[in-house]
Amino acid sequence: MLKKDQCWRCDHICTTPTPKIYCSGCEVAYYCSEKCKHGDVFRHQVDCQTAALKRRCSGCGKENRGLKQCDEDILRRQRGHASTATIYYWGNIPAKDLINFPQNEGCEYSKPFAVLACGVGDPRNIVLSVSQLPEAYQEEVTFVLNDICACTLARTVLILYLIFKGGEQVANSVTQIWYSLRLSEEDHQLVINTLQELIQASSLEELTRGTMKIEQDQLHNLVQVWRTWLDLSSRKGNWITEARRRMFESDPGSKDGIDLYLKEIPKEHKKSASDWFANGILLPKESRKRLTHENFTLSGSDFQVSGNKGAFSYIIQSSVSPFTSWDYKDAQQLSDSVSILKMYSEYVSHVLKKCAMTLATGQVKFHFLLCNCLEMTPFLPPDRKYDRVTTSNIADFVPLANLLDTCKPLLNLNNPSSVIITEFQNWVRFTNLIMEAEKRAFDMVRGDPFRKRILEDTKNSAIAYSTARQAFAEYHDHSAEFAMFLRAALLASEVPDERNRRRTWKSVADYNGIIARNFLRCQNRVSGPPARWLLNCRRVTLLNGFERAVEWIVKPR
């Protein structure tokens, strides 16, 4: 994810007296040097065409600036789509700073700030946002964290309370509690003591001296999760380790996926990455104490299957890892270690330490909501408006227009930088793009000029000669299909406006008074330009190339 003034090739910040060198084609991409500009020509071709707003009609082949393609097939498939989510103890895309003052309000902003995180999942975005607050900013920041899953929210509260109470001293322990399969005696006891405190508290607000709060009936549901974990803390045997092993064995594609991953990441990381998949422990081997306990907080009961009422078991999917939750490029800048276990454990601990320092000032408050985000308004303070409303990838599972209708009245209209952020990961299932990409990668001969160009761009033969689609995703433009999906998603809810006309892309913006920032010209400011991730420079992060983010702002009058 690019940051302000960051070179599109090497990630260095373009500062005076070094001027930005812009791409003459799109006038959006910029570089710190002619060398970087020249080196990025091949990879940037797809972004350049997108940013310049030129399109080729799939029907007649005519190139123009319009985005007029047939939505009917996508609309039909979306109406019949019925996917479900799972428990998110770890992130499914890298953490981002939800506040990001430099690219939004500015570093001199001096008013209280409020963030509403719908479907918050794990707290990676929250701790990163807190850790990035400018020292000069002294106003109160309120995070309202919502999730429908009691297990997910219980673990988020647990992690944030550990940081709040223990401060910088427990950052390393919290990192391992968050991600590692096994714990030391010291960390195991830390979790038990913390759970007992949370369970015995008469209220979360009283326990934290006003820093955290949740409705008492909702707290009761979290307490049930904490009690179950406490009961499981004394369970003997390697039950979590064995459950993880069985999960990997039962997933027919996991072995091939791991092998492909290990081939395509930087060579120096392969040994430590193999260790992670074998053992599930984030600490490098040389730093491991005697890990005598299973991490029982990695267990849970799926909300979609049982409403969190079923038996608890190991719940982390084989397709996710700590490396997905945090941007490899950021971790690498802090600790460019051969071991990605060392790199990531040090980076996450660093973020947690900075977060703990800010929490110690008392300027950050947390309000937790356990409910469906489309039904959360009655639980929100009626006089509070929000500078950021984030919705994770909830739009993959509920009608987009309904989600925007719920969130728009909550925006702080006195802040011109206030924004709603929607993320999309499943949109590609409504297209043929995955099948086409897989066929293209498999059928492309080794000597194809396209592969040679990728080798020149990445300097990685495993990527250039891969038969997997991920290696080539960033060299193809999918923006037309994504724009078409968005129009279909807005139509799919079939919610009429006050004059009983079905919504179109334009009428939704006019009716609701919100518009999407022009992600085609990389104008996202919170989720970061560009709206999609660059993959081959962060292969360790394990993205699929189809993650998208759209930012919605109040339409200027």
pLDDT per position as a tens digit, 243-260: 999 988 888 788 888 998
Mean pLDDT of 127-155: 96
Q: Specify the higher pLDDT residue, 226 or 84.
A: 226
Give the relative orientation of helices 400-407 and 479-492 as an angle to the nearest 10 degrees.
Answer: 80
- What confidence score (pLDDT) does residue 23 get? 85
Cα separation, 207 vs 201, whole angstroms: 6
Q: Please, which pLDDT band fits residue 73 given cuts at 50, 70 and 90?
A: very low
**Bigger pLDDT: 107 vs 73:** 107
The three-class DSSP label of residue 210 is coil
- Answer whether residue 327 shows pLDDT above 90: yes
SS (H, E, C) 132-171: CCCCCCCCCEEEEEEECCHHHHHHHHHHHHHHHHHHHHHH
557 Cβ contact list (under 8 Å, min separation 6): none
Average pLDDT of the segment spanning 465-484:
83
24-47: burial string, b at 16+ Cβ within 10 Å, e else = ebbebbbbbeeebbebbeebbebb
What is residue 53's predicted lDDT score, i.e. its pLDDT? 46
pLDDT band at 86 (very low <50, low <70, confident <90, very high): low
**11 vs 391, more confident:** 391
**8 A C-beta contact, residue 259 and residue 314:** no
Instruction: Compute the mean pLDDT over every residue in the chain, rounded to the nearest whole number.
Output: 85
DSSP 328-396: HHHHHHH---S-HHHHHHHHHHHHHHHHHHHHTTT-EEEEEEES-GGG-GGGS-TT--BSEEE-TTGGG
Task: Read off the pLDDT of residues 455-470 as tens digits, 9 standing for 90 and up.
Answer: 998 888 888 898 888 8
Confidence at residue 74, expressed as pLDDT on a 0 to 100 scale: 35
Tokens 């979590």 identify what position? 240
- pLDDT surpassing 60 at residue 57: no
pLDDT tens readout for residues 12-37 = 777 766 678 888 877 778 888 888 88
**Stretch 486-495: mean pLDDT, rounded?**
70
Q: Which residue(s) pair with 313 in the sheet? A: 300
- Of 225-229, 251-255, 503-507, the least confident: 503-507
Helix, strand or coil, per DSSP, at residue 469: helix
On whether the CB atoms of residues 332 and 541 are closer than 8 A, the answer is no
Q: How far apart are CA 243 and CA 258, in angstroms?
A: 18
Question: 347-403: per-residue pLDDT in tens?
Answer: 999 999 999 999 999 999 999 999 999 999 999 988 899 999 999 999 999 988 899
**Integer Cα distance of 482 and 228 in angstroms:** 42
Give the number of other CB atoms < 10 A from CB of residue 252: 8
Q: Is the pLDDT assigned to residue 223 strictly greater than 70? A: yes
pLDDT surpassing 60 at residue 62: no
